[in-house]
């Protein structure tokens, strides 16, 4: 007997957003490829299109996504050869309803994600409706990438701002290390009492911080997938 598995609606929504986003890639483009489960679906779909003749070059926002793209035959480049990207497609942890404000980086790739996004004419964010929040920080912390040397003092300064930072650790209790060989401190935005804009400034002014996961108004468009179709924020 064959069993047909009902598809999880959240997964189906994610796939819808990813497929729509991947459909925006055009022949000849230089494309930024994001990180996370939604981005993995985008890469899968772009890989399918490449196998059918689409010609693009790409830069990935993590070693993981790079490996996924290479395994699908996507032609990869780097910033030494390609300073400007036409389009980057990535996911997000939170999207503030009615805005283009995001929290990103819970996949640990926020620094490369921001570098790649800044090098792109357009940043397209693909999400399912679970990512929509009234206020940034309601569900997720803000990941802040810091230099390992003296991270305890960086954490103290972030604590003084009220962010209650917590070091991200692996299952073995050792610090999680990013592709850039940094640590991540998870910061609680609501606890700080600061607005997202104020917090972004505070993070940037903190010595030891390399980058933070607040992407405020950087996206050109957010595509929200659902079983019924797609909606947009722009
Ligand atoms: C990785 C990210 C991801 O885009 C974010 O975590 C969303 O991931 P997913 O698509 O798996 O929900 O910012 O650093």
Average pLDDT, the chain: 96
Helix (H) or strand (E) holding 85: strand 85-90
Determine whether the shortest distance from the Cβ of 108 to ligand 1 is under 6 A: yes
Helix (H, G, I), strand (E, B) or coil at 81: coil
Domains, in order of start, for the chain: 9-132+216-228 (3.40.50.1360), 142-211 (3.30.70.260)
- How large is the ipTM? 0.98
Q: What pLDDT was estimated at residue 167? A: 98
Q: Which region, left, alpha or beta, applies to residue 180 given φ > 0 means left and ψ of -120 to 50 means alpha?
A: alpha
Q: What is the mean pLDDT of residues 22-37?
A: 98
Q: Is the CB of 94 under 6 A from ligand 1?
A: no
pTM of the predicted protein model: 0.96
Residue 231, beta-bridge partner list? 224
H or E stretch covering 221: strand 221-226
Q: pLDDT for 165-224, tens place per residue?
A: 999 999 999 999 999 999 999 999 999 999 999 999 999 999 999 999 999 999 999 999
Please state, in angstroms and rounded to a whole number, the distance separating the CA atoms of residues 155 and 53: 49
For residue 192, report the phi and psi dihedrals to the nearest 5 degrees.
-70, -25
Average pLDDT (44-62) is 98
Answer yes or no: is 191 a known binding residue.
no
Torsion of CA 75, 79, 80, 85, to 10 degrees: 70
Ligand 1 atom closest to Cα of 104?
Answer: 13
The finding on whether 208 has its CB within 6 A of some atom of ligand 1 is no
- Residue-wise pLDDT tens digits, 107-156: 999 999 999 999 999 999 999 999 999 999 999 999 999 999 999 999 99
**Is 9 a residue whose pLDDT tops 90?**
no
- How far apart CA 33 and CA 88 sit, in angstroms, is 6
What is the CA 78 to chain-centroid distance, rounded? 19
Q: Where in the sequence numbering do the catalytic residues fall?
A: 113
What is the percentage of the chain residues whose pLDDT exceeds 90?
Answer: 94
- For ligand 1, is residue 92 a contact (CB within 6 Å)? yes
Ligand 1 centroid to residue 104 C-alpha, Å: 6
Residue 37, annotated ligand binder? yes
Using the mean position of ligand 1's atoms as its centre, give its distance from the Cα of residue 40 in Å.
10
Burial of residue 157 (CB within 10 Å: 0-12, 13-18, 19+) is middle
Q: Which atom of ligand 1 is nearest to the CA of 127?
A: 10
């Amino acid at each position: 007997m064959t069993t047909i598995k009902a598809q999880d609606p959240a997964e189906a929504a994610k796939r819808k957003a990813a497929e729509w986003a991947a459909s925006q890639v055009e022949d000849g483009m230089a494309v930024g490829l994001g990180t996370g489960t939604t981005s993995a679906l985008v890469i899968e779909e772009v890989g399918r299109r490449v196998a059918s003749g689409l010609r693009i070059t790409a830069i990935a926002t993590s070693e993981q996504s790079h490996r996924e793209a290479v395994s699908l035959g996507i032609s990869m480049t780097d910033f030494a050869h390609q300073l400007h990207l036409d389009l980057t497609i990535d996911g997000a942890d939170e999207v503030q309803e009615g805005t283009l404000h995001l929290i990103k980086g819970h996949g640990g790739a926020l620094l490369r994600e921001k570098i790649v996004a800044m090098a792109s004419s357009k940043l397209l964010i693909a999400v399912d409706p679970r990512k929509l929040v009234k206020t940034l920080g309601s569900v997720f912390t803000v990941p802040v990438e810091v230099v390992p040397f003296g991270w305890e003092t960086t954490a103290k300064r972030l604590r003084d701002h009220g962010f209650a930072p917590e070091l991200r650790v692996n299952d073995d209790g050792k610090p999680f290390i990013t592709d850039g060989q940094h640590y991540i401190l998870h910061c609680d935005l609501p606890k700080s009492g600061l607005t997202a804009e104020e917090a972004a400034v505070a993070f940037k002014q903190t010595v030891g911080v390399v980058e933070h996961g607040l992407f405020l108004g950087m996206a050109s468009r957010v595509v929200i997938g659902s079983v019924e179709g797609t909606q947009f924020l722009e």
